Amino acid sequence: MKQNRFIFIFLAVCLLIGIFTLDSYGESWDDLSLQKYADYSLRTYGTWRAQGVMPITDKDLGNYGPAYMMTVMLGSRALSFLPLNPSDIRHLFYFLTHLIGVWAFYELGKRWLGANAAFYATLLYATQPLFWGHSFMNPKDTPFLAFFMLSLLFGFKMIDSVERIETPVSNLPLKTRVLTTLGIIAVFSLFASPEFFRAAIESLVRAASSGETNIISLIASDLHKVNPEVYIQRYFVFFLWIRAAFFLLFLLIAIYQLPRPVRYYLPAILFPAFLLGYTTSIRVIAPFAGMIVALYAFRKLGKRAVFPLLIYALFAIISTYNTWPYLWSNPIGHFIEAIQTMSKYPWFGKVLFNGAEYAPTELPYSYLPVLLAIQLTTPVWILFFIGLFSLGNASRHDVKPFPNSEKSPRQNHPDQQGATHAPHNRLLALTVIWFVLPLIGFIVARAALYDNFRQIFFILPPIFFVAGLGMETILKRATKPALRVLIASLLILPGIAAGIRLHPYEYVYYNSLIQNPNGKFELDYWAISYREAAEYINAVAPPNSNIMVVGPGQTVDLYVRDDLTVLSDDEPTDEPFDYVIVTTRYNFDRETYPDAKVVYKIERDGMLLTVVKKISK
């Protein structure tokens, strides 16, 4: 299809732009803490297997899933030979992940829209300054958005694959079903409570060490010669290996016992299940994607969906467990802890909204609606409501949340003679499930939100699917191809133009509905403009100067000359310094060294992001 060729050309152009502008983006405020957490998690793969030790706590961000950052860290190490700043290598991975997400967005769009509308929606989505800016330096929200869409895409494809295969689970012998159930319970028990088994081992070892006769005293004849901790660790590690062997044996037997048709579609389930589990190990709300896939499965397969969904869920859990080391010592307890923590994340800063400061759990109900209105380009919402009107008209014919099958774009296209409105009309129900209901939930529950609304990026794709339909509705009325190209260009131009003006701070974008966001809304809340400040310092600072940084000093240390010393205001010092780099967030630029001379300003579109001050000697 022509559109398929166009989408890959578009992605290639985006990749080239990204590569040539990669070194413009600074490190985000949070990146270092996530790198440390990823390093702890990677080390746990060795310490847990060899010593039964997990060097991670909730204070080390254990409640965050580490899967993506571990992947980025491994990839960055593999590419460390490149002549790039280490932060740029990480940013390249973030951006590539975003582009994969753009592809997933397009493929999802084709399930409910014609190929043309899906392509228009993709152009509108990918040229949003907000997403483009985050795609380079956000290690959390845009990667999660990409993997959320990938989980949906491959989850839907999984259901399409198994639709043609019967699942004769009811024909399994009773003995097989009972043994399989008991095996699952046994495996679950072994993995769900390792602390119980460690405590039991410790009790036995200490009892044997004190002279009692038990199984440990019979097999460890020299127990009295060494510290009991040695044997506690040794036998716990032995338990871990035995548990792993039991699980693999059970898994092989269980797969062998499955009916042959089921074994044939098992490979179709494994990758989508791994994706869902991996995505859950990025952010704990990822099972919401699995719920949408389950709705699609029941809509399509009815009761036959139960068995493939159980396999899907089982392997997704295995994937989450294996990519989230913090869960290993107490899987159920730590997972529940992660849900509780992330639903009311304990962020103690203040949120700037419409000129006032709020606690992140006490935001006004208008917070999300207003920010969604002013941080996406103006055509998005115009097109969204046009598309919504089209969906409303079509809904009188057929409203179902999912298509009956994955049809080709030509089959789905509403312009084809004899085609029904059904495939893209079901987008209305999907929009409610994926966007409207979660949005209402976030607002009503007063979920902890800060840094504008980056945490909820994953619910925004339906806005652009519907907007793509709106764009197609407009373009269908243009009779000449040149006119269609002109109209489409005008609709995506605001995002492109704003991105050029704001580069590399596209993520501070506000549309024309807000004239001057200074002092009213959050701007460079991750202080990525500190890279530009560091480059200025490199050009003017005398050799061996000391540079004071207000906030994330590590984001400056990455980019300054080797002879310069970066001091952080978090660590009081008596050493003199020559320059101060200050973010405008929280009015730090006004309150920190107010009498010092401002020698450099970083601003875009009248928005002041960071200042550099010269300290008088």
Q: What is the 3-state secondary structure (H, E, C) of 119-162?
A: HHHHHHHHCCHHHHHHHHHCCCHHHHHHHHHHHHHHHHHHHHHH
Residue 208 pLDDT class (50, 70, 90 cuts): confident
Residues 463 and 499 in one domain: yes
Residues 58 and 153 in one domain: yes
Residue 209 pLDDT class (50, 70, 90 cuts): confident
CA distance 514 to 516: 6
Q: What percent of the chain has pLDDT over 70?
A: 91
Residue 514 in domain: no
**Assessment of whether the complete model's pTM goes beyond 0.85:** yes
Burial of 207 (0-12, 13-18, 19+ CB in 10 A): middle
Q: Pairing state of beta strands 579-583 and 546-549?
A: parallel
Residues 367 and 431 in one domain: yes
Give the mean model confidence (pLDDT) for residues 318-331.
Answer: 90
Residues 272 and 256 in one domain: yes
- In the prediction, which pLDDT does 469 show? 92
Q: Does the pLDDT value for residue 175 go beyond 80?
A: no
Residue 192's domain comprises 176-340
- In the prediction, which pLDDT does 162 show? 83
Average pLDDT along the chain: 87
Distances (CA, A) of 344 to 143, 359, 440, 597: 21, 12, 16, 41
Structure tokens at 65: 């899933």
Backbone φ/ψ region at 527: left (φ over 0), alpha (ψ -120 to 50), beta: left
CA distance 549 to 568: 5
Residues 428 and 447 in one domain: yes
Residue 396 pLDDT class (50, 70, 90 cuts): low
| H or E element that contains 568 | strand 565-568
Residue pair 40/55 in contact by the 8 Å Cβ criterion: yes
The more confidently predicted of residues 526 and 405 is 526
- In the prediction, which pLDDT does 157 show? 94
Give the mean model confidence (pLDDT) for residues 390-411.
Answer: 55
Residues 227 and 240 in one domain: yes
Residues 212 and 307 in one domain: yes
Residue 581 pLDDT class (50, 70, 90 cuts): very high
- In the prediction, which pLDDT does 478 show? 84
The more confidently predicted of residues 295 and 195 is 295
Structure tokens at 154: 């491959």
CA distance 45 to 74: 13
Give the mean model confidence (pLDDT) for residues 104-114.
Answer: 93
Residues 371 and 321 in one domain: no
Q: How many DSSP H helices and E strands does the chain contain?
A: 26, 7
Choosing from 340, 366, 387, the residue where a domain stops is 340
Residue pair 550/46 in contact by the 8 Å Cβ criterion: no
- In the prediction, which pLDDT does 168 show? 54
Backbone φ/ψ region at 606: left (φ over 0), alpha (ψ -120 to 50), beta: left
| H or E element that contains 368 | helix 367-375
CA distance 398 to 401: 10
Q: Residue length, the chain? A: 617
CA distance 454 to 212: 59
- In the prediction, which pLDDT does 408 show? 43
Q: Does the pLDDT value for residue 575 go beyond 90?
A: no
The more confidently predicted of residues 39 and 394 is 39
Residue 278 pLDDT class (50, 70, 90 cuts): very high
- Give 462-504 pLDDT, tens digit per residue: 999 999 999 999 988 888 888 988 999 999 999 999 999 999 9
Q: Does the pLDDT value for residue 454 go beyond 90?
A: yes
Residues 347 and 335 in one domain: no
Q: Does the pLDDT value for residue 395 go beyond 70?
A: no
CA distance 497 to 494: 5
Q: Does the pLDDT value for residue 453 go beyond 90?
A: yes
Residue 517 in domain: no
Residue 418 pLDDT class (50, 70, 90 cuts): very low
- In the prediction, which pLDDT does 161 show? 87
- Give 15-56 pLDDT, tens digit per residue: 999 999 999 999 999 899 999 999 999 999 988 888 877 777
Least confident of 135-144, 241-250, 606-615: 241-250
Q: What percent of the chain has pLDDT over 90?
A: 58
Residue 521 in domain: no
The count of structural domains within the chain is 3
Listed in sequence order, the residues at least 6 apart from 36 whose beta carbon sits closer than 8 Å to its beta carbon are: 60
Choosing from 508, 539, 572, the residue where a domain stops is 508
Residue 406 in domain: yes
- In the prediction, which pLDDT does 248 show? 85
Structure tokens at 103: 């592809």
Residue 481 in domain: yes
Residue 520 in domain: no
Cα–chain-centroid distance for residue 236? 34
Residues 47 and 156 in one domain: yes
Residue 411 in domain: yes
Residues 584 and 562 in one domain: yes
Q: Pairing state of beta strands 607-614 and 597-604?
A: antiparallel
Choosing from 340, 365, 399, the residue where a domain stops is 340
- In the prediction, which pLDDT does 380 show? 97
- In the prediction, which pLDDT does 451 show? 94
Give ∠ CA 423-425-428 in degrees, rounded to 5.
Answer: 125
Name the DSSP letter for residue 435: I
Listed in sequence order, the residues at least 6 apart from 460 whose beta carbon sits closer than 8 Å to its beta carbon are: 145, 435
- In the prediction, which pLDDT does 290 show? 97
CA distance 418 to 110: 18
Listed in sequence order, the residues at least 6 apart from 23 whose beta carbon sits closer than 8 Å to its beta carbon are: 84, 85, 88
Most confident of 37-51, 187-201, 500-514: 500-514
Residues 180 and 190 in one domain: yes
Residue 485 in domain: yes
Residue pair 209/228 in contact by the 8 Å Cβ criterion: yes
C-alpha gyration radius of the chain = 28
Listed in sequence order, the residues at least 6 apart from 153 whose beta carbon sits closer than 8 Å to its beta carbon are: 104, 107, 108
How many Cα atoms within 13 Å fall on the side-chain side of residue 197?
20
Give the mean model confidence (pLDDT) for residues 361-377.
Answer: 96
